[in-house]
Structure 1
Amino acid sequence: MKTPLFVIALTALLHLAPARAATPPLRDRGAAPELAGVKTWLNSPPLSLRQLRGKVVLVDFWTYSCINCIRTLPHVARLYETYKNQGLVVIGVHTPEYPFERSTNNVRAATKRFGLTYPVVQDNDYATWNAFRNQYWPAAYLIDQDGRIVHTQIGEGGYAEMDAAVKALLQRRSSQSTTETTMEMTRQVTMGK
């Protein structure tokens, strides 16, 4: 009698384990610094992280001659295309590793070649790189609606974890919006409007 119950409980736990493992912990890693020293924007007028509060923002450091970056760009582009209408903003920060990567024309050509439609900034002086205390290409920083870094991904891989983190933040955003709408409707009904 105890064995079947134990097997059922163990089976249930095993089915739940993968779902938990796929969602990374969203830990507050501090306030995201502002995009610093950026003079050139591609695919967008200038933006600031301050004006993007309330949205989920993915800041992706890359450079166009880095093979690891080239391999991650399709995933970043796919995230953007999938979630841009749900509140995800992606900002590619092109920080050059070599002098020839400082050319705006080269960065523009690479952005087109890789099919990037999200905003891309040139960080030729490493001001944003240093503000984020970044040390790697590629590196992605996921910022929540309050402007806090809650997830990072260094190097290739971690795609399922980043997807899950983005979804979790967007769901949080959606539930907050629903709660705010309900509270506003309740306030209007209470006030007799």
Structure 2
Amino acid sequence: MMGKRIWLGIFLLTALCACNGKSAAEQAKKMAGAYDETTSKYNRLNDRLNSKFKNTVSNRLPDKFVNEYNRIMSEKRQELEVLLKKNENNTASDDLDLLRSKIMIEIGRFDDAEKIIDRLSGGKTYLAAEAKLQKVILNLIRRRHTQAVALFRELEPGIKKDMQFYNICLALAFSNPEAAVREEYSLKLIQTPELPAEIKHMTARIYANLAMLAKEKRQAENAKNYLQKALAFENEADMKLNWQNELSQLSLLEKPPPPLTAETWLHSKPLTLSELKGKVVVIDFWAPWCNPCRQVLPSLLEQYEKNKDKGLLIIGYTRLYGRYSDDLEKKDKVSASEELTLIKKYLARNKISYPVAVSGEGSGFDTYGVTAIPTMVFIDRQGNVAFIKTGSGSIKQIQDMIASLLAVK
């Protein structure tokens, strides 16, 4: 009797284990199927929309590109939301959860994605490294730059050098606030023997990025060398023209600036740069219609008011366009006198008190090789061009450059 009971117990235990094993196997199969199906749909969606994006880049005029790009991204977001919703009730495997977190990042559900990523990255499975890589991406999106760089450096030696890896390198090369990090990852990309084609077409831009960084460090020769390499790799005519203009601007560095001529001077008598030795001078090439120009004006005004007694002089330089617009007004066609009146009105409304030169033909733009605004030319106390900055970029960079030039007596 006891033997039968033992045998029955063993049988029941074996049967239960078999049933549990069958259930676990079925569950695993179901989870794997859900993951494979979702991955397939996700990849097909990306391939289809990436193809649309490439066609947009190839065929659309520049003025239509942004609208078309936004339309494609909106379509992608909607389809990803549908895909995510379809899988909400699926039994989740870690693989599927990681894929869900990627989709959540793409549609802006960062908090939800981070919960999944933190759980997976804390484990000891093969997915931990991939989850940490998603954490790097999330840190970049949320501008947690220090954490992103530290974690990526930790992962670099052991992760696959695929498109995701190189896209992170690109983000660090172009978007990190630290110049040293931008330089480090720009050089890593340039020094990689066989870049993927999708990254290799960025070679000219990476060299141009290195040129800008060298220019910021006042290494004119290095900047010239990098720009010449950018020109060698660039295929687009407009960009070639940009790099050529940058090269011509570099020829101005460490020399006295060319004369600055204008028909009208506001808030000042006509100024001659050669007579301003002993002062730190910033020439700001701008226009009222230029939004980035308008964004930088308050900081320039603040610097002027704060440091004018220490030897800082800011000169705004703009030209007449025969049309006018700013943050409040827009007129498609104006006379020279009307445009000048509107410029004065704009300056008064924004309390701009430093000298502003207004040229009818914009000759100063040509003399200084300015093809994009705002462009700021920094002149040291010795009367030499110290630095040329294009774009509003980092306000702190402008402040730091002014401070460093003022510190030299």
TM-score (norm 2): 0.35
What RMSD in Å do the two structures reach over aligned CA positions? 2.1
1:158 to 377, 391, 394: 394
State the shift of 1:92 in Å.
0.2
Identity of aligned residues (%): 28
Determine the structure 2 residue equivalent to 1:128.
Answer: 364
Determine the structure 2 residue equivalent to 1:61.
Answer: 285
2:348 to 112, 121, 132: 112
In structure 1, list runs of 5 or more residues that go unmatched.
1-17, 174-193
SS of the equivalent of 1:50 reads helix
Whole-angstrom CA distance in 1 between matches of 2:375 and 2:348: 21
Bigger-Rg structure (1/2)? 2
Higher helix share: 2
State the shift of 1:90 in Å.
0.4
1:53-75 deviation line (CA, Å, top 9, x unaligned): 11100000111111111111111
Contact persistence 1:27–1:150 (CA under 8 A): no
Does 2:267 match 1:43?
A: yes
Whole-angstrom CA distance in 2 between matches of 1:100 and 1:19: 39
Aligned length: 152
Contact persistence 1:62–1:94 (CA under 8 A): yes
1:34 to 259, 265, 282: 259
Does 2:217 match 1:25?
A: yes
Over 3 Å off, 4+ runs? 18-21
State the shift of 1:91 in Å.
0.3
User: Is the alpha carbon distance of 1:27 and 1:122 closer, same or farther for their aligned partners in structure 2, counting shifts above 3 Å?
Assistant: farther
1:65-124 deviation line (CA, Å, top 9, x unaligned): 11111111111111111111100000000124x312442111111111221000001022
In structure 2, list runs of 5 or more residues that go unmatched.
1-176, 181-215, 221-252, 325-335
Contact persistence 1:61–1:95 (CA under 8 A): no
Amino acid at match of 1:32: P
Determine the structure 2 residue equivalent to 1:184.
Answer: none
1:39-62 deviation line (CA, Å, top 9, x unaligned): 111111111101111110000011
SS of the equivalent of 1:69 reads helix
State the shift of 1:159 in Å.
1.5
State the shift of 1:19 in Å.
10
TM-score (norm 1): 0.72
SS of the equivalent of 1:31 reads coil
State the shift of 1:27 in Å.
5.2
Contact persistence 1:61–1:137 (CA under 8 A): yes
SS of the equivalent of 2:275 reads coil
